[in-house]
Amino acid sequence: MNNTHIKGLVFDKDGTLFDFNATWGAWARDVFAAETQGDPDRLSELADALGYDLEKGLFREGSIVIASTVSEIAEAALPFVPETSVEALISRFNAAAIEAPQVETTPLVPFLTALKRAGLKLGVATNDGEEPARAHLAAAGTEALFDFIVGSDSGYGGKPAAGQLHGFCEVTSLDASACAMVGDSTHDLHAGRAAGMVTVAVLTGVARREELSPHADIVLNSIAELPVWLGL
């Protein structure tokens, strides 16, 4: 398939550039245990509320954590950590997220470098906070390869709204119809459709093909298949 009209790619981060459960599965248990101060009952309640399987150390399909903003996750967690505040939880979640080791879905530096050499503009639009997002990209040696990096706290709103993607088009001077939104959740795909972009789903998150395909123009196993899809 030749999609040479595509001049810009906007990537979700977690589940797209980085494998979702391989990155966040084990990390989450430690964070949730710390927030509930080792109380097994509270830990179990918090895990259930956030769609996390304590036994398997994995997020379940449909977990609020997969596509929500950090503020939405903090609000969902607050009833189970009542001696704190949403603002304090956001701060602690962001600080802990910065330290989480990221598992790349494909070697990102050569992958992104090849896309840049092909003349494509590249962006990241995540519902994560911008600071941890930039820290993860910098740790992978990729931050400088993106023309636009935006989090849910960057002033453009969060997905599934299209504000982040409109921002990418403004910064790159590209028409939305010449861009593709690449993500692993329906939030990503809804944002892409709302912005007027081509929508590309990948299966490196938690959502399955049958959930994503109705909202995607194409479903790929991972971003590694993009160059062939783009006709590069």
pLDDT value for 86: 93
Q: In which band, very low, low, confident or very high, does the pLDDT at 26 lie, cut at 50, 70 and 90?
A: confident
Please report, for the chain, the start and end positions of each structural domain, with discontinuous segments joined by +.
8-18+103-230, 21-98
pLDDT of residue 3 exceeding 60, the answer is yes
Backbone angles phi, psi at 220, to 5 degrees: -115, 155
Q: Which residues are paired to 49 by β-bridges?
A: none
Give the pLDDT confidence of 35-80 residue by residue, as tens digits: 998 899 999 999 999 999 999 999 998 899 988 889 999 999 999 9
Instruction: Report the percentage of the chain scoring pLDDT > 70.
Output: 99
Q: Tell me how far apart the alpha carbons of residues 163 and 145 are, in angstroms, rounded to a whole number.
A: 22
Question: Is CATH 3.40.50.1000 the classification given to domain 8-18+103-230?
Answer: yes
Q: Is the dihedral of CA 65, 71, 159, 11 positive or negative?
A: negative
Token output for 48: 């259930």
What are the DSSP calls for 202-222, one per residue?
ESSSSS-HHHHGGG-SEEESS
pTM higher than 0.85: yes
Give the pLDDT confidence of 149-171 residue by residue, as tens digits: 999 999 999 999 999 999 999 99
Do the beta carbons of residue 216 and residue 186 sit within 8 Å? no
Q: What angle do CA 189, 192, 193 make, to 5 degrees?
A: 90
> Nearest Cα to 94, choosing from 64, 67, 74, 116?
74
Give the pLDDT confidence of 182-218 residue by residue, as tens digits: 999 999 999 999 999 999 999 999 999 999 999 999 9
Give the pLDDT confidence of 127-139 residue by residue, as tens digits: 999 999 999 999 9
Give the DSSP H or E segment for 25.
helix 20-35
